[in-house]
Amino acid sequence: MSVKIIGVGKALPRKKILNSELPEELNTSDEWIRSHTGIGSRYICSENENSAVLGVKAAEAALANAKSNGFFVNSEQIDLIVCSTAVPVHWGFPSNACLIQQSLCADNAAGFDVSAACSGFIYGLQTGRALLNQMNWKYALVIGTEELSRIVNWKDRSSCILFGDGAGAVLLENSEENTEHFGSFVLGTDGKGAEVLYLGTDDILIHMDGHAVYNFAVKKMVEIIQTLMEKDNLSIDDIDLIICHQANERIIQAAAKRLNYPLEKFPILIEEYANTSSASIPISLTDLSENGILKHGMKILLAGFGAGLTWGGCSLTW
C-alpha cells in the first residue's frame, strides 16, 4: 500500500487588505511590516465566509485538481476528512470536518478536526495517511483552514499585522503501487512554551511573545530539516524544495542561513497571504504546483511550527 497526494487546492476570502489599508490607529506602515515580516497584504473573511466555507472551497479545488491529473474521485468515494483549524466555526462541536463533509455531500466519510495550531496541517497529513493504511481506506482529504481575523487583537500592532485567513487542501490516495511517496515524519510538542502564543480564555484573542516565537521557530525549523535529512539519508543536493510554514520571511531566511543551504530552495509565499497558520503549507503547495515550480518527481521537505508549542515536518516525493 502506498499513499500519495493526487490533488491540491486553495481558497481565499474575497476581501484583500493591503498594509496601507490597515486601520490608522495601529500606527504601522507598509515599510515596517514588509521589512520585519515580508508581508504585503492579507485576505480577511467577510459576510458568508468562515473557515468551513473556505475549507469546502479548498477541498473542491483539490478534487478538481486531482481530476485534471487524471484521478476521477467523487465526493462519495472520500473515506476521511481531516480538518486542521485553530478557528472552527463552532468552538467545541460540531467539528469543521462535519460541516465540510455535509457541504461536499461526502456521505461515506469519517471526519474530525485536528488542533495543533500552525503545525496542524502536518499533523493532519500524517493522521490521514496513517488512517488510510490502518483502515484500508482509499481517499482522504486533509485540509488546513483558518479565520484568524476573528481572533487577532486588532489593537495589537505587533501581532495583528501578521495574520490572514485562507484554506488549503490535499487529496490523498491509498493505492496498490509499490513506490513509497512519503518519507519520514517528525512531530513534536513542548507545552512549556504554551504561554508564548495562546488564545486567551476570556477575551478569545491571540496573545504572543513575538521574540520567543521567533527564536523557537528558527531553531525548530533547522532541527526539523536536519532530522528529516538524517532519517532519510538525504543531502541538500537531493532536495529540490523545502516548503516551510509561512509565518515571517525572516524566520525562513534565518533558518536557511543557519543551515547554510541556498535560499532558492526555500520558497517564500508570505507577501500576498500573510501567515495563514495551518493553511500556509497547503496554499504554498497549490501555488508552487500551479506555477510549475513544484514538479512531479521532485523531492521536497515540509516543515512547520506553531503554538503549543508544536512542530512537524515530513519528506516526500511529489
Binding site for ligand UT7 (CB under 6 A): 28, 32-33, 36-37, 118, 157-158, 161-162, 208, 210-211, 213-214, 217, 247-248, 275, 306
Q: Measured from the CB of residue 275, what is the shortest distance to ligand UT7 in angstroms?
A: 5
> Which is the catalytic residue, given 98, 160, 275, 314?
275
State which residue, 28 or 127, has the beta carbon closest to ligand UT7: 28
State which residue, 37 or 75, has the beta carbon closest to ligand UT7: 37
Q: Measured from the CB of residue 144, what is the shortest distance to ligand UT7 in angstroms?
A: 12
Return phi, psi of residue 30, to 5°.
-60, -40
Q: Which residues pair with 224 in a beta bridge?
A: none
Measured distance CA(171)–CA(149) in Å, rounded: 27
State which residue, 14 or 32, has the beta carbon closest to ligand UT7: 32
List all residues 6 or more positions away from 75 whose beta carbon is below 8 Å from its beta carbon: 63, 104, 105, 106, 107
How far from the centroid of its chain's Cα atoms is residue 289's Cα? 15
Q: How many CB atoms lie within 10 A of CB 165?
A: 29
Measured distance CA(272)–CA(39) in Å, rounded: 7
Helix axes 96-104, 51-68, angle to 10 degrees: 50
User: Which single residue brings its beta carbon nearest to ligand UT7?
Assistant: 210
Q: Measured from the CB of residue 147, what is the shortest distance to ligand UT7 in angstroms?
A: 15
Q: Measured from the CB of residue 232, what is the shortest distance to ligand UT7 in angstroms?
A: 26
> Dihedral sign, CA of 89, 90, 91, 95?
negative
State which residue, 40 or 210, has the beta carbon closest to ligand UT7: 210
State which residue, 162 or 242, has the beta carbon closest to ligand UT7: 162
> Which is the catalytic residue, given 45, 118, 244, 314?
118
Measured distance CA(165)–CA(262) in Å, rounded: 30
> Which is the catalytic residue, given 19, 50, 245, 314?
245
Q: Is 118 noted as a catalytic residue in this protein?
A: yes
Q: Residue type for 33, please?
A: I
Q: Measured from the CB of residue 44, what is the shortest distance to ligand UT7 in angstroms?
A: 16
Question: Which cell is 183 given?
Answer: 518519507
Q: What is the set of active-site residues?
A: 118, 245, 275
